């Protein structure tokens, strides 16, 4: 009998990848994915712990699920509730105490054990099950091959975990130590995705450019070498990777940007701040000048490279002059897009216990100023494409009839007037509209004339 699983995903792209692999794990047990939690046999929350707000969402969602579970119970049915991801890893036992109606809590490195956990939970042992160990065996060796319907644009985890211990960040604690999948395994998964219709693949890792996986013929490959091998797969048209750390941009990676036409001219390279003093407090172990030099070398290798980044404002000890350095840095580098966040103290991280926490109103003021500057840059970047023809990967149905939503090489969303059957193509689009968040245009080729 078919059973229904609803998976809700929070956080980064790695969680999006993990959620789809959880579904792959459960499919041999007869689970099919549901679009809503109503009436589901199993609900999984794949959670994020990066900032307080992200973690809080889990508890409010659990409140709703409890009501659904009880309602189903009254009708004689059963709904299992499982919490996975980074909140589960960080707060495991505490989570079961606060929400005793949760049946399973499992960490990001142990979801290959879901089938067994679900079977045990269904036997009603009473207590919620907790599986947050970091298993010695990598989960990737136990996951079934990814499902066939990965979509036109697919994600592929190649590296996990983090050994960097930036003083604000929970990831080294929630994801564990750095691990790289063997290149042969990555290539096999990439080929399968392309055979299933993927035109674009994004290689994922918390520190993706710290990749150092076993090479197929022995020895080790860094990310540059892995990108080179993946880009040789016939039928694959676009290749990306995220998220990178400035300390790990090596010569082979820069060469990949120079040599591989399929490697898209866009790079997400988190800077966090433009102040050397704050970079040191953050334990980022690079300076603002190191970042500038990397950008220069990348732009030399690929002149049309666009950059995006992450910034934190209000890190403990950040003074007005540090923040001014961040604004100057953003103006100087020029970003096509960037995320910025107020510093959020996370339990167990060194910065949370640091003196001189920045008061909330100052954080809010700095965030608004930085976001206004970034928005101006993003708008100018988008408007620079007005009247130009861009290749756009037509990914999914658009917001209006007769439209498809696509992505430019620079990761801009493009609303394209195009027939539904053009989905999956990379087509030339004449850009006629440019706003803060997206571009708009129409197909510009013979097929559309
Ligand atoms: N591995 C990536 C970042 C992963 S987390 C890197 O090293 O760059 C994504 C972003 O969340 C970070 O770049 C940072 O800007 C932000 N972030 C992480 N911890 C945070 C915290 N405690 N408060 C606010 N923002 C945070
Ligand atoms: Fe977090 Fe720093 Fe590791 Fe990125 S490099 S995941 S910010 S500890
Ligand atoms: Fe969040 Fe974990 Fe990703 S904390 S950002 S889901 S690695």
Give pLDDT, residue 304: 96
Residue 32 Cα to ligand 2 middle (Å): 34
From the alpha carbon of 169, which atom of ligand 2 is closest? 1
Give pLDDT, residue 1: 75
- 3-state DSSP assignment of residue 397: strand
Q: What rounded mean pLDDT belongs to the chain?
A: 95
Query: 142 CB under 6 A from ligand 2?
Result: no
* CA–CA gap between residue 42 and residue 344 (Å, rounded): 32
* CA–CA gap between residue 82 and residue 436 (Å, rounded): 38
Residue 391 Cα to ligand 3 middle (Å): 32
From the alpha carbon of 169, which atom of ligand 1 is closest? 19
* CA–CA gap between residue 362 and residue 319 (Å, rounded): 10
- 3-state DSSP assignment of residue 417: strand
Residue 310 Cα to ligand 1 middle (Å): 7
Beta carbons of 313 and 323 less than 8 angstroms apart: yes
Give the ligand with the smallest distance to the CA of 208: 1
Query: 313 CB under 6 A from ligand 2?
Result: no
Residue 265 Cα to ligand 3 middle (Å): 25
What's the helix, strand, coil split of the chain in %, to 5? 40, 25, 35
Of 310, 318, 335, best ligand 1 pocket probe by most atoms within 8 Å of the beta carbon: 310
Of 161, 162, 247, 348, best ligand 2 pocket probe by most atoms within 8 Å of the beta carbon: 162
Q: Which of 242, 175, 165, 177 is nearest to 203 (CA)?
A: 242
Query: 173 CB under 6 A from ligand 2?
Result: no
Of 49, 50, 269, 308, best ligand 1 pocket probe by most atoms within 8 Å of the beta carbon: 50
Give pLDDT, residue 145: 81
Match 């209006």 to its residue by tokens. 400
Give pLDDT, residue 146: 81
Give pLDDT, residue 447: 58
- Write out the chain's pLDDT in tens, 449 residues: 789 999 999 999 999 999 999 999 999 999 999 999 998 999 999 999 999 988 888 999 999 999 999 999 999 999 999 999 999 999 999 999 999 999 999 999 999 999 999 999 988 767 889 999 888 788 888 888 887 666 899 999 999 999 999 999 999 999 999 999 999 999 999 999 999 999 999 999 999 999 999 999 999 999 999 999 999 999 999 999 999 999 999 999 999 999 999 999 999 999 999 999 999 999 999 999 999 999 999 999 999 999 999 999 999 999 999 999 999 999 999 999 999 999 999 999 999 999 999 999 999 999 999 999 999 999 999 999 999 999 999 999 998 889 999 999 999 999 999 999 999 999 999 999 999 999 999 999 865 55
- Note the pLDDT tens digit of each residue in 119-137: 999 887 678 899 998 887 8
Element (H, E) at 369: helix 360-383
Residue 344 Cα to ligand 1 middle (Å): 10
Query: 162 CB under 6 A from ligand 2?
Result: yes
Which CA distances in Å does 189 have to 155, 158, 169, 281, 394?
Answer: 10, 10, 30, 39, 23
* CA–CA gap between residue 232 and residue 216 (Å, rounded): 15
């Amino acid at each position: 009998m078919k059973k229904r699983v609803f998976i809700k995903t929070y956080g980064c792209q790695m969680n999006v990848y993990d959620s789809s692999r959880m579904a792959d794990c459960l499919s041999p047990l007869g689970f099919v994915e549901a679009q809503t939690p109503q009436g589901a046999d199993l609900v999984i929350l794949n959670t994020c712990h990066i900032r307080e707000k992200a973690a809080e969402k889990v508890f409010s969602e659990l409140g709703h699920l409890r009501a659904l579970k009880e309602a189903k119970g009254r009708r004689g049915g059963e709904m299992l509730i499982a919490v996975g991801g980074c909140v589960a890893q960080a707060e495991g036992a505490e989570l079961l105490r606060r929400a005793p109606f949760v049946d399973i809590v499992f960490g990001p490195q142990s979801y290959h054990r879901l089938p067994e956990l679900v079977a045990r939970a269904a036997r009603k042992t009473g207590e919620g099950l907790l599986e947050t160990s970091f298993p010695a065996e990598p989960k990737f060796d136990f996951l079934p091959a990814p499902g066939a319907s990965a979509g036109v644009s697919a994600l592929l985890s190649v590296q996990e975990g983090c050994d960097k211990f930036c003083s604000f960040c929970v990831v080294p604690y929630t994801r564990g130590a750095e691990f790289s999948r063997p290149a042969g395994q990555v290539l096999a998964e990439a080929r399968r995705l392309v055979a299933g219709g993927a035109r674009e693949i994004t290689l994922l890792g918390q520190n993706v450019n710290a990749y150092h996986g076993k090479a197929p013929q022995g020895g080790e490959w860094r990310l540059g070498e892995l990108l080179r091998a993946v880009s040789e797969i016939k039928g694959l048209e676009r290749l990306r990777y995220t998220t990178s750390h400035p300390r790990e941009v090596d010569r082979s990676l820069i060469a990949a940007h120079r040599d591989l036409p399929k490697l898209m001219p866009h790079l997400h390279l988190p800077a966090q701040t433009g102040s050397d003093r704050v970079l040191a407090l953050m334990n980022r172990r690079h300076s603002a000048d190191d970042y500038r030099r990397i950008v220069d070398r990348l732009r030399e290798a690929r002149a049309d490279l666009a950059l995006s980044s992450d910034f934190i404002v209000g890190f403990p000890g950040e003074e007005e002059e540090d923040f001014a350095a961040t604004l100057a840095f953003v103006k100087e580098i020029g970003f096509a897009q960037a995320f910025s966040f107020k510093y959020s103290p996370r339990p167990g991280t060194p910065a949370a216990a640091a003196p001189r926490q920045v008061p909330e109103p100052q954080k809010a003021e700095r965030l608004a100023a930085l976001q206004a500057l970034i928005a101006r840059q993003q708008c100018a970047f988008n408007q620079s494409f007005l009247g130009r023809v861009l290749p756009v990967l037509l990914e999914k149905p658009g917001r209006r009839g007769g439209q498809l939503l696509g992505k430019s090489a620079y990761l801009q969303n493009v609303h394209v007037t195009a027939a539904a059957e053009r989905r999956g193509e990379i087509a030339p689009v004449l850009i006629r509209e440019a706003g803060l968040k997206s571009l708009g245009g129409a197909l510009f080729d013979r097929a559309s004339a």
